[in-house]
Structure 1
């Protein structure tokens, strides 16, 4: 990998990390708001669990993307794919 590709990969990883932390703060804020609304409307069935859980699943997928391998697509890989398509 040359320096330009390394910088591009580093930029993508930093953006993914920043996006993940931003999402965690949004998740926390939304969780607090819906829990407050639930509490103020007389409690009962804990419906905010659906919102918190749904956003938690999204956070899990963002985390998986964050820690996963960030592979770059090289010119040689593109050329190989083009050749494979031509053979079909």
Structure 2
């Protein structure tokens, strides 16, 4: 049976930073999604139209897929340094798979 090899501190830091960066990327994506779609909705409604639902739903699907990739593969929360620290702690507690 394969015995998990523990991660080195450098590997833990690199992986934690990558995971934290992915989560911050999702937060940025979600923020832009909300702001742009609020603007589109205001523009459409000001003209008595309801077309804003189409980009809202299409882009929303993309945001959901992005979120699933980030949050289901690397759980955690917080701003960059808090994310990095939490990822470090999680990686220290969890044995390395593979190798």
Larger radius of gyration: 1
Q: Is the shorter-chain TM-score for this pair beyond 0.5, marking a shared fold?
A: yes
Match of 1:26 among 19, 22, 32: 32
Structure 2-normalised TM-score?
A: 0.63
Distance in 2 (alpha carbons) for counterparts of 1:67 and 1:29:
22
User: Which structure would you say has the larger RCO, counting Cα contacts within 8 Å and 6 or more residues apart?
Assistant: 2
User: How do residues 33-72 of structure 1 correspond to structure 2 at under 5 angstroms?
Assistant: 33-43=39-49, 46-69=50-73
- Show the counterpart of 2:18: 12
- Structure 2 residue ranges without an equivalent (≥5): 1-6, 75-97
Structure 1 segments (4+ residues) deviating >6 Å: none
The structure carrying a bigger helix percent of its residues is 1
